[in-house]
Chains A and B, each alone.
Chain A
Amino acid sequence: MRLPLQGQPYAACEETEFIKMFFQSLHHFGDYILLQKRIFTVPDRWSEFFRRFIDEAGSLIIGSIAIVVTISLFIGAVITIQTQLNVSSPLLPAYTVGLVTRDTLLLEFSSSIMCLLLAGKIGSNIASEIGTMRVTEQIDALDIMGVNSANYLILPKIAAMVVFIPVLVVFSMAAGLFGGYLVASFTSIIPASRYIYGLQSYFTEYYIWYTIIKSFFFAFVISSVASYFGYKVRGGALEVGKASTDSVVVSSVTILLLDVILTKLLLQ
């Protein structure tokens, strides 16, 4: 924080810093929008776009399946145990555990929390990859050749993320519910049949669509924000690291903010 000048109160100094930060954020936002304009153009070569799309889907998405399934499996199991602890009342039927586990996973965990995790894993990967290409002049080389570097590098990543993150989210739901089933099967906290009955009770199909719709938005945020921070890197390795961290922070906050807005719009 900047120290106040002689005779300047602390509050005024902080206010100046706040205004500066506000304008910096506006500047970044404007830059981000202009970058989207360069990204969303017709690719120079569709064959090259599809080749890169497949590559990105392989490296970003396939490489994340194991971590998504593992985390979801354990979280599903934990939610089941904790729900059972909190609703162990003779007034509530045993199947409530399955019902609450299902709704928790479907409504919040598999989309929002999973995308927060992916913002860390995939987002930092994208930002550091593009950032390294920037500092080693590979992006300049593309621009000099007349290739729209933003479109060539970023569009396949965004497309792969928007198409396949919802698939990962579906995997996450299935793995989470299965984690709860394993707990019910191998412990005596709730009979497995009650758990399954709970999963089927009062089921609202729309919740799945709600989760998938949210994940489209989150996938776009993760890939486009990370790409922006990577693409705008200036300097060296230190700045690439900073861009990677900044991309995770900004994507996470944006995901949470969008989560509130989308929940309000889609569920009420």
Chain B
Amino acid sequence: MIEVKNIFKSFDGKPVLRDISAQFHTGKTNLIIGKSGSGKTVLMKSIVGLIKPDSGHVLYDGKDFLGMSENDVKALRCEIGMLFQGSALFDSLTVLENVMFPLKMFTRQSAAEREKRARFCLERVNLTGADRQFPSEISGGMQKRVAIARAIALNPKYLFCDEPNSGLDPQTSILIDELVRDITREYNITTIINTHDMSSVLGIGDNIIFLNQGEKEWVGTSNDIYTSTNEKLNDFIFASNLFKTVKEYIDHKND
């Protein structure tokens, strides 16, 4: 489980995160949602250590990440997988080499063992036959799948996904969501997803944290969203006509 306690962060005197405390559960897809500029990415980067918060604590299974020694941080990083918004695959490496990269850097496995594990991960994300291609030669959806395969190559305990659906069509988007959810349950990973994709929120949100202007506004599950009376959350979730119609239909049915 990952827990954040009283996180504050500001840039040039402008507060971006204000007293954020939250728990992210193991074996569940934990979503951080909110408008652009609400502090989602800063919170995620603070949790993974790419940004140092001004104050507060980040606990990985009870251990304070910010107080860890350099060696402990390095060991913890081997247990973290991350899927970036733009996939962040290494341009100069092929698909297979990208997935093998963390194995090469952090295990003593032989080349054959590494390749076997990388092929297994690629099969797990339903991607075969593209292993000799370079990232620039495959589609955005395939790139995301390669990035997921790379993220799970070392059997991580924690998986972070920064806007995994951005730039994808709705169908591919659902496939990626389902893949992340299945992997989370299958390997009992603590997954944190940063998104403003409503279909993800309603489809795979086991534990949702809604941020508004750097503050935690609401916590609940995807089922709770339909019955929520939080105005800011409702304004955000049901901003699109499609979801507004669904909400009205459900309200009408309940009446």
* A associates with B: yes
| A interface with B by C-beta (< 8 Å) | 44-45, 48, 133, 136-138, 140-141, 143-147
Known contacts A44-B105, A137-B88, A147-B105; can you find 7 more A-B pairs with CB under 8 A? A45-B105, A48-B104, A141-B82, A144-B80, A144-B82, A145-B102, A146-B78
Contacts of B48 in A (CB 8 A): 144
Q: Looking across the interface, which residue of chain B has its beta carbon closest to that of A147?
A: B105
Q: Given contacts A140-B50, A141-B82, is CB(A146)–CB(B106) below 8 Å?
A: yes
Contacts of A133 in B (CB 8 A): 91
Q: How far is the CB of B138 from chain A (nearest CB, A)?
A: 15
Contacts of A146 in B (CB 8 A): 73-78, 80, 105-106
29 A-B interface contacts by CB (under 8 A): A44-B106, A45-B104, A45-B105, A48-B105, A133-B91, A136-B86, A136-B88, A136-B91, A137-B84, A137-B85, A137-B86, A137-B88, A138-B89, A138-B90, A138-B91, A141-B82, A143-B50, A144-B48, A144-B50, A144-B80, A144-B82, A145-B77, A145-B78, A145-B105, A146-B73, A146-B75, A146-B76, A146-B105, A147-B105
Q: Given contacts A48-B105, A146-B78, is CB(A141)–CB(B88) below 8 Å?
A: yes
Contacts of B88 in A (CB 8 A): 136-138, 140-141
Alpha-carbon distance A145/B158, docked complex (angstroms): 12
| Contact status B106-A140, CB under 8 Å | no
Q: Given contacts A45-B105, A147-B105, is CB(A140)–CB(B84) below 8 Å?
A: yes
Contacts of A137 in B (CB 8 A): 84-86, 88
Q: Looking across the interface, which residue of chain A has its beta carbon closest to that of B90?
A: A138
Q: Looking across the interface, which residue of chain A has its beta carbon closest to that of B78?
A: A146
| Contact status A144-B105, CB under 8 Å | no
Alpha-carbon distance A144/B74, docked complex (angstroms): 9
Alpha-carbon distance A133/B89, docked complex (angstroms): 10
Contacts of A145 in B (CB 8 A): 77-78, 80, 101-102, 105-106
Q: How far is the CB of A42 from chain B (nearest CB, A)?
A: 13
Contact with A along B47-66 (1 / 0, CB 8 A): 01110000000000000000
Contacts of B102 in A (CB 8 A): 145
Alpha-carbon distance A144/B76, docked complex (angstroms): 10
Q: Looking across the interface, which residue of chain B has its beta carbon closest to that of A144?
A: B82
Alpha-carbon distance A144/B82, docked complex (angstroms): 7
> Most B CB atoms within 10 A — which of A137, A140, A145, A146?
A145
Contacts of B50 in A (CB 8 A): 140, 143-144
Alpha-carbon distance A76/B105, docked complex (angstroms): 47
Contacts of B78 in A (CB 8 A): 145-146
Q: How far is the CB of B54 from chain A (nearest CB, A)?
A: 19
Q: How far is the CB of B143 from chain A (nearest CB, A)?
A: 11
Top 5 A-B residue pairs of the complex, sorted by shortest distance between their CB atoms: A146-B77, A137-B88, A141-B88, A144-B82, A137-B84
Contacts of B80 in A (CB 8 A): 144-146
Q: Which of B159-201 contact A (CB under 8 A)?
A: 160
Q: Looking across the interface, which residue of chain A has its beta carbon closest to that of B150?
A: A141
Alpha-carbon distance A140/B76, docked complex (angstroms): 16
Q: Looking across the interface, which residue of chain A has its beta carbon closest to that of B154?
A: A145
Q: How far is the CB of B50 from chain A (nearest CB, A)?
A: 6
Q: Given contacts A146-B74, A146-B77, A146-B78, is CB(A141)–CB(B84) below 8 Å?
A: yes
Q: How far is the CB of A34 from chain B (nearest CB, A)?
A: 15
Contacts of B101 in A (CB 8 A): 145
> Most B CB atoms within 10 A — which of A45, A141, A143?
A141
Q: Looking across the interface, which residue of chain B has its beta carbon closest to that of A55?
A: B92
Q: How far is the CB of A45 from chain B (nearest CB, A)?
A: 6
Alpha-carbon distance A144/B147, docked complex (angstroms): 13
Q: Looking across the interface, which residue of chain A has its beta carbon closest to that of B48?
A: A144
